Structure 1
Amino acid sequence: MKEKLLRIGTTYIPVTNVEFSAEWYVSRLGAELSYKDDDKAILNFANQSIFLVKSKENESSNFYDFYGEERFSLTFEVNGLNALEAIHKDFIEKEIKVGEIENRGHTGRNFIFYDLDANKFDVWSELSPIFKERYLSSN
């Protein structure tokens, strides 16, 4: 088979209140709302389509690893340490629950943040080289 998967087009995130969550993602993260009904909202941001799907209480996209540590399922990338520090400060000002900027022993720095339903996300200071080449290079 010569065909291969090219990109992740859509990510589904469980939320208890589609209206409140959609407004939160738009106002706090700068997402663009492209559709909303009682059961879902479709957002565009971070070069992806994000579906906020109405779910039962206490559902989240988080999971626990083998050692019992709660993990995030998504890492967002920013372009460098200065961008990471700026967005971390911006999230604090917008009263988003965030963790400290961390050195995890690999290239770059990270921090975590949470949405209204305690979905845990990661932000990393390093853009993938392929993304930089394709989308940020000056042609």
Structure 2
Amino acid sequence: MSEKLLRVGTTYIPVTNVELSSVWYVNKLDAELSYKDEDKAILNLANQSIFLVKSKEHQSSNFIDIYGEERFSLTFEVNGLDALETIHKDFIGKGIRVGDIENRGHSGRNFVFYDLDSNKFDVWSELSPIFREKYFISE
């Protein structure tokens, strides 16, 4: 097979209120709203299409690992530790629920944050080398 999957194009995130959630993502994460109806909102965020899909209460994209820990299903990348620290402070200032900056034993640092429906996301200070090269981003 010569063809292969090239990228993740869309991520679907369950939300209980499409209107409130789309406003939150636009105001808190600087997402760009490209479409919205009663059942979904389509956002452009971090070089990806994010669909906020109306779901029943207590749904989230989180899962529990074998050790009983709640895990995130999506990690955002930023360009270095300074960027991570700046975004962490910015998120706190915007009233976003965030965790501490952590050293998880691999390169870079991380922190988690949550949206209105407690969907848990990760932020990592290490930008993918392929992304860095493609978009001419220097360290």
TM-score (norm 2): 0.98
Letter in 2 for 1:14: P
Number of the residue aligned with 1:49: 49
Letter in 2 for 1:71: R
* Residues in 1 aligned to 2:51 and 2:93: alpha-carbon distance in whole angstroms: 25
* Residues in 1 aligned to 2:101 and 2:118: alpha-carbon distance in whole angstroms: 19
Number of the residue aligned with 1:72: 72
% identity of equivalent residues = 80
Number of the residue aligned with 2:97: 97
* Residues in 2 aligned to 1:94 and 1:123: alpha-carbon distance in whole angstroms: 16
Deviates more, 1:128-137 or 1:62-71: 128-137
Q: 1:30-77: CA deviations, max 9, x gaps?
A: 000000000000000100000000000000000000111000000000
* Residues in 2 aligned to 1:67 and 1:137: alpha-carbon distance in whole angstroms: 37
**Alignment partner of 1:82 is 2:62:** no
Letter in 2 for 1:121: F
- TM-aligned CA deviation for residue 136 of structure 1: 2.5
Give runs of aligned pairs for residues 1-139 of structure 1, distance below 5 A: 1-137=1-137
- TM-aligned CA deviation for residue 137 of structure 1: 4.4
- TM-aligned CA deviation for residue 117 of structure 1: 0.0
Letter in 1 for 2:11: T
SS at match of 1:132: helix
* Residues in 1 aligned to 2:73 and 2:62: alpha-carbon distance in whole angstroms: 6
Q: 1:95-130: CA deviations, max 9, x gaps?
A: 000000000000000000000000000000000100
Letter in 1 for 2:115: D
Structure 1 moving runs of 4+ over 4 Å: none
- TM-aligned CA deviation for residue 5 of structure 1: 0.2
Q: CA RMSD in A?
A: 0.8
- TM-aligned CA deviation for residue 135 of structure 1: 1.1
Aligned residues: 138
* Residues in 2 aligned to 1:71 and 1:128: alpha-carbon distance in whole angstroms: 21
Structure 1 unmatched ranges of 5 or more: none
